[in-house]
Structure 1
Amino acid sequence: MNVHTPLPVLSSLYPDRQLRAHCTDQRIGVSLNDLCHLELLLEPASERSLSGTLDRLSGNEVQQTHLVLAACEAAFARWPNLDQLRLATASSHVAIDSLVAEGLFQRVATDKVVCSAHALWQQTRPWLHKGNAAAYPQHFVQSGPVRHPLRPAPLPGTLYSRFIPWLGQTLTFEQVDLQRDLPAFNRWMNTPRVARFWEEQGSLEAHRAYLQKQLDDTHTLPLVGRFDGQSFGYFEVYWAKEDRIAPFYQAHDYDRGLHLLVGEEAFRGKHFYTAWFSSICHYLFLDDPRTQRIVCEPRHDNYRQIANFDRSGFAKIKHFDFPHKHALLVMLSRERFFSDRLYTPLDVVQPLHEGTIA
């Protein structure tokens, strides 16, 4: 994407791209419906730090909070190697105080706050459609022999949105809608490339029953991924504590797991992969801040997928045997995901350290 092209921001709150940031080396301007409401005057502080002075901020309190958050998102999207954005304000702003309370900013002086990459990318409001809702209350229940936290029922519709600068498209993850998504799911599952590893070929009715089972199961969440509204793949998210994988490792209460497939050939390749894979991991870590690990169990001979997991920061833990396949357990930690900025393509940002963290 051209650096002078307006960048859509806060996709979860402004899905029609009506909130946009204009970034140059001298300023960040944020416009709502083509009217500029925020202007941040910039000067480089160091190679990985940027300083800005808030020169204009208008709108009501909610809009101002959105505008400041949008400017931070734009800064870290425009300059992916940035460690921190230092913001000076000439006067007190309720929006700034609110974002300090939420953890986006750390106040370092009466008129100065700092936003770090870690803080920005762990905010929920830019990407999750449930906004900054508190974590679901912890209450333990029993499912057969397994004691685990009660899981929230997801809202139907879009759960996560993110504008992908290197594609110029908006990526969304949405809960499966049987009427809308069944034909594509059926076609994907009967594609030889997918069927080889999923082994779920079948009729429309068989696949309707399959998806309905996932929707009814409180430990799974079936999602469809879309780029600018066009479906491209299926993502089956699960809570590992209640899953068949739990006996094969020491599952924590909020570990998440994932099965996935890209059904549309037009959306295969590095540029799309770096967008959707980093984003599905981002979604899982944002959905509940108590999730510290994501696990996956690809078939041992799915070499392409295993190589992708490896490049995306997953540690190889061990091989083990399910009744239906010989699998490799791989794991990604929350610490590594955010510290090594795995929400951004690896050829843009260099990891801060080498090695794997389980």
Structure 2
Amino acid sequence: MAKIEEIECTFSHLNRTISFRSVQIQEDLPILHRWMHQKHIKPFWKLDLSMEDLHTWLTKSTGASHKDVYMGYINDEPACYLIAYNIKEDPIKNYYAAQPVDLGMHLLIGPREYLNQTDGEAIILAMGYFLFNKYGATRIIGEPDVRNRIILPIIKRLGAKELKEIELKAKKAKLVAIEKQALLDYCVQYPYKATLNGEVNNNFCGEHTTNGEH
């Protein structure tokens, strides 16, 4: 588990505590290298590289000015890799009518056993809480591969809207948007606890839902 001072966000939901911290190359490179070579990840990320080449890729990614990269945990176990990026500085802006409130994201769930409805939902709700609160966005944009039969049903159940199907350089994707209010309304059904930068905040996005208060 990351040192407590490194954790930016925690989110407890369905008896799971999801936490996020910034990527640390030396610590996280072996984990990501293992994940990128797994059968359920290789076809989508296409980063089954040598350790040296993946180090170069990760160094470039963490050093980019238009994105932030995070490791996510379920309880004490590494669970996911998250990229948050500025839509205005990414080619995805050319595929739809981008709005100033949009934030782009890529999410990789590493261990195969976490690719299920319950863990996937907890990770995505935690991700939403973290990104909406940290970046002040009101809509998160993603472009999962059309073949992703696990994440797509989960995010649709959480209120994501499919904008269109698009052809990217490396894949055919579903361009999807998750509105802050949609996650807010979904999350009100369940009790949760959350912190951001060490401060307790049990209100999902700093406002009331349309269905009542938390």
- The TM-score by the shorter chain falls in which range? 0.7 to 0.9
Aligned counterpart, 2:31: 184
Considering Cα pairs closer than 8 Å and 6+ residues apart, tell me whether 1 or 2 has the greater RCO. Answer: 2
Aligned counterpart, 2:61: 214
SS in 2 for 1:192: coil
Over the aligned positions, Cα root-mean-square deviation in angstroms equals 2.3
Dislocated runs of 4+, deviation >4 Å: 342-345
Q: Tell which structure's C-alpha radius of gyration is larger.
A: 1
Give the number of aligned pairs.
191
SS in 2 for 1:253: coil
Q: Is the 8 A contact 1:285 1:334 kept in 2?
A: yes
Shift of 1:343: 8.2
Q: Is the 8 A contact 2:125 2:187 kept in 1?
A: no
Aligned counterpart, 1:243: 90
Aligned counterpart, 1:334: 180
Aligned counterpart, 2:152: 306
Shift of 1:352: 6.9
Q: Is the 8 A contact 1:278 1:344 kept in 2?
A: no
Aligned counterpart, 1:265: 112
Q: Cα gap change, 1:278/1:248 in structure 2, threshold over 3 Å: closer, same or farther? A: same
Give the counterpart letter for 1:214 in structure 2. Answer: S
Is 1:204 the counterpart of 2:51 in the alignment? yes
SS in 1 for 2:49: coil
More helix by share: 2
Give the counterpart letter for 1:304 in structure 2. Answer: I
1:130-149 to 2 correspondences below 5 Å? none
1:26-175 to 2 correspondences below 5 Å? 157-164=6-13, 166-167=14-15, 169-175=16-22
Shift of 1:281: 0.9
SS in 2 for 1:298: coil
Q: Cα gap change, 1:221/1:256 in structure 2, threshold over 3 Å: closer, same or farther? A: same
Shift of 1:319: 1.1
Q: What do the CA deviations read for 1:80-111 (whole angstroms, capped 9, x no partner)?
A: xxxxxxxxxxxxxxxxxxxxxxxxxxxxxxxx
TM-score when scaled to structure 1? 0.50
In structure 1, C-alpha distance between the alignment counterparts of 2:189 and 2:109, rounded to whole Å: 19
In structure 2, C-alpha distance between the alignment counterparts of 1:328 and 1:175, rounded to whole Å: 27
TM-score when scaled to structure 2? 0.80
Shift of 1:344: 4.2
Aligned counterpart, 1:118: none
Give the counterpart letter for 1:280 in structure 2. Answer: M
In structure 2, C-alpha distance between the alignment counterparts of 1:325 and 1:266, rounded to whole Å: 25
In structure 2, C-alpha distance between the alignment counterparts of 1:343 and 1:208, rounded to whole Å: 41
Aligned counterpart, 1:194: 41
How high is the sequence identity, in percent, across the aligned residues?
A: 25
Give the counterpart letter for 1:298 in structure 2. Answer: P
Shift of 1:266: 3.7
Q: Cα gap change, 1:338/1:250 in structure 2, threshold over 3 Å: closer, same or farther? A: same
Is 1:230 the counterpart of 2:77 in the alignment? yes
In structure 2, C-alpha distance between the alignment counterparts of 1:163 and 1:301, rounded to whole Å: 29
Gaps of 5+ in 2: 192-208
SS in 1 for 2:35: helix
